[in-house]
Structure 1
Amino acid sequence: MAEALWRVAAAEGLEAVSLARVAQEAGVSKGRVQHYFGSRDELLDFAAEQLQLRVDERIRTGLTAAHPRTPLDEVRALLVALLPLDDDARTDARVGSAFLIRALGDDRLRETYRRGNRLLRGAVVDRLAAAGLGGIAPEPDAAILLALAGGLAESVLLGEHDAASAVAVLDHQLDRLRRG
């Protein structure tokens, strides 16, 4: 059912998510879905939790796979993990975009997004500060890098950048920080 929920949310948007639609996608009865989720809001809460877990796992995997040697290498691995560079990441980015729009009118969801953004920004700030490079201002540079990653993610989804060009833009900005 979780996979069915994800497929509906990614392909049709959050507005299409309902107990009946998820049941149809999963090939089970609506009653079976209701056994796990009492309402549409519970379905959406579950989807939001899954999105956070998926992004966290992508970041952990990216950091592990990249074998970062320096704090800036860690920043790069973290930011690359935020980009929708493969099918799973593109699906997650589409679902994330839908949740962002929903968060604009939902105080609880908006605070969840803000909390996640603060954690992410804190991680980047800490690594930039650890880099010890004179030309880096950790707070504003973290904001710039995260905004760049967000903009590149949108550009990849829209087909304005492919994976290689998005990563190249990110690398260009990180090289500027390295040079001070």
Structure 2
Amino acid sequence: MPRQVDHAGRRRIIAEAVCHLADARGLEGVTLRDVAASAQVSMGAVQRCFRTKEEMLVFALEYIGERISDRMRARLVKSPAQSAGTALGHAATEISLLSEEHRAEARVWLAFVAQAAVNKALAETLKANYTVLQDAFTRLISEADGNAHPALPLDAQHEARTLLALADGLTAHVLIGHLTPQAAQDVLHAHLSSLWERSARPPHPTSAAPSHRSPV
């Protein structure tokens, strides 16, 4: 009886190999032959899982994006009693990949971002990943802001875009050594504090309506 092959598991193993090679060499150094060697499978096995190198890279990008999103969701459900504001801080910290344990993941992520600038399929995958993260930020900001000042809400989608861009940019600044992880955390926390200060600020009193009496 022929041995059953776990294609989903093999695709994940290949994605891990792509990420390992991308971390060591950048995406330019990722070849099907080297991926097969790193994953300890045959070239034929790689080609049966993926028709083209681009298809393999797209899957690897989806894989690493899902891994980051899963960690973010795990942080959100770990403490269900936490406020939406606290949850947002945890989520933003998670996706900014500032900790040493996520440094390799940050290098791989930025390698894909750079390649996506000239690869439409990777760009579309990245946009889908960013949309998922932005939607999660928007929901948390709306919830936290509604509890603070339901009568004067922030533009949650705009604030979510800003926060996502900040978190993503901090990844690069830490990776190249422009900021230390602690300095990047301070920038992120300062932005979140400013966000909640604006949210908690009471609305300005409405100015008295001007008189429209005709002159005597």
> Could you say which TM-score interval applies, normalised by the shorter chain?
0.7 to 0.9
Which residue does the alignment assign to 1:101?
114
1:165 is aligned to 2:152: no
Higher helix share: 1
Question: With structure 1 as the length reference, what TM-score do the two structures score?
Answer: 0.85
SS in 2 for 1:69: coil
Partner Cα distance (1:59, 1:85) in 2:
13
Partner Cα distance (1:68, 1:77) in 2:
13
Q: 1:35/1:8 Cα in 2 relative to 1: closer, same or farther (>3 Å)?
A: same
Which residue does the alignment assign to 2:201?
none
Residue 138 of structure 1, aligned match among 156, 181, 184: 156
The amino acid that maps onto 2:38 is: E
- Aligned residue-pair number: 180
Partner Cα distance (1:63, 1:164) in 2:
22
Percent identical:
32
1:53 is aligned to 2:66: yes
Which residue does the alignment assign to 2:197?
179
Which residue does the alignment assign to 1:149?
167
The amino acid that maps onto 1:128 is: I
Deviation at 1:36, TM superposition (A): 3.3
The amino acid that maps onto 1:115 is: A
Partner Cα distance (1:112, 1:4) in 2:
19
Q: 1:67/1:91 Cα in 2 relative to 1: closer, same or farther (>3 Å)?
A: farther
Deviation at 1:65, TM superposition (A): 4.3
Deviation at 1:59, TM superposition (A): 0.9
Give per-residue Cα distances to partners, 1:28-68, cap 9 Å, x unaligned: 54334334334322321221121122111221233244656
The amino acid that maps onto 2:185 is: V
SS in 2 for 1:74: helix
Question: With structure 2 as the length reference, what TM-score do the two structures score?
Answer: 0.72
Partner Cα distance (1:166, 1:67) in 2:
26
1:70 is aligned to 2:83: yes
The amino acid that maps onto 1:148 is: L
Check whether the contact 1:68–1:77 (CA below 8 A) recurs between aligned residues: no
Q: 1:119/1:28 Cα in 2 relative to 1: closer, same or farther (>3 Å)?
A: closer
Please tell me the root mean square deviation across aligned C-alpha atoms, in Å.
2.3
Deviates most, 32-41 or 42-51: 32-41
Partner Cα distance (1:158, 1:52) in 2:
21
Residue 24 of structure 2, aligned match among 7, 11, 33: 11
The amino acid that maps onto 1:57 is: D
Q: 1:127/1:28 Cα in 2 relative to 1: closer, same or farther (>3 Å)?
A: closer
Deviation at 1:27, TM superposition (A): 4.6
Which residue does the alignment assign to 2:33?
20
